[in-house]
Amino acid sequence: METIYLCHTDAPQYISDEPVVMALGFFDGVHAGHQRLTQTARKIAKEKRMKLAVMTFYPHPSEVIQGLEPIKYLSPLSVKQKKFEKLGVEKLFVVKFDRIFSRLSPEEFIKQYIVGIKCKHVVAGFDFTYGYKGTGNAIKMKEEASGGKFDVSIVPKEERNGLKVSSTLIRRFISTGSVHVIPNYLGDYYEVMGKVEQEMIEREESLLYKISTNKKYILPETGVYQIEVESDNKRLQGICLKIDQCDEKNILTVKLLHYLENKKEEHIQIRWLKKIAADQSISNHVQEQTIFI
């Protein structure tokens, strides 16, 4: 997958030599709704024999427009890139969302970021907005496309249990500790990437690890969680005993029944399975086996 970074102050802008079908959105978490949108674009790209592209934005618009504190993400950009690659995306456009970009009119956005990169078919969610103060929407985009410059497909909302699947909803589940319900909305358990900082041996033949994660990740509320750690192509069951959210990075205190063989591995994955009672033994939740993948 080719990743192209676009900044509105750059000149000239990216010039494409081939037409694309492009999905638009912020795509935090690349949840079930985002996957449906991307799969729709993929099907159209195959039918039209064009490359599949995705356009996303960074940082989150609310950080720029509303001047909020840096947002906690379900998937930082590097993780998002890997997810799109797995979905078959061939070109990923990452647009820098800054004050200058936020003031673009809907018409200028279409001209420079749709027509300008030879997008021949746009696929967007029903609630996607663009342009200054979000004044561009699905209806306006279809009007802009009426001249035959490009086609537009609008994907309706994805629902689970009567709730609209959204990054906001998934963040709410995480922040309240309801991590067990997330696979129904995200398509899998919520996971974060981490790095082993310290290893300690306990008397009960279990091991404690201090694992650091990017501070940009949103993490569950304080509590004890059953987790799964993936490292060196193996999945290890364990428990997260403590979550410390620090200024520079987050630190997780994790208890496992098996050694992490490659402790110096740059990236390990931590999946959050469910919240459990703090006084329950690790053996009540952790199967004494290693799962090879």
pLDDT tens digit sequence for 50-83: 999 999 999 888 888 776 677 889 999 999 999 9
Higher-pLDDT residue of 146 and 282 is 146
pLDDT bracket for residue 153 (50, 70, 90): very high
In the chain the first and final C-alpha atoms are separated, in Å, by 24
CATH of 2-157, one of 3.40.50.620, 3.10.270.10, 1.10.10.10, 3.90.550.10: 3.40.50.620
Name the pTM for this structure: 0.87
Q: Indicate the range of 87-91, 140-144, 219-223, 278-282 predicted with least confidence.
A: 278-282
Region 188-292: CATH code: 2.40.30.30
Average pLDDT, the chain: 87
Residues 147-163 have a mean pLDDT of 93
3-state SS assignment for residue 139? helix
Contact 141, 123 (CB under 8 A): no
pLDDT given at position 8: 80
Residue spans in the chain of domains classed CATH 3.40.50.620? 2-157
pLDDT given at position 293: 32
Residue spans in the chain of domains classed CATH 2.40.30.30? 188-292
**H-run or E-run covering 92:** strand 91-96
**H-run or E-run covering 290:** strand 290-292
Residues 137-152 have a mean pLDDT of 88
pLDDT given at position 290: 37
Give the span between the Cα atoms of 175 and 169, in whole angstroms.
10
Residue 291, pLDDT > 50, answer: no
pLDDT given at position 203: 54
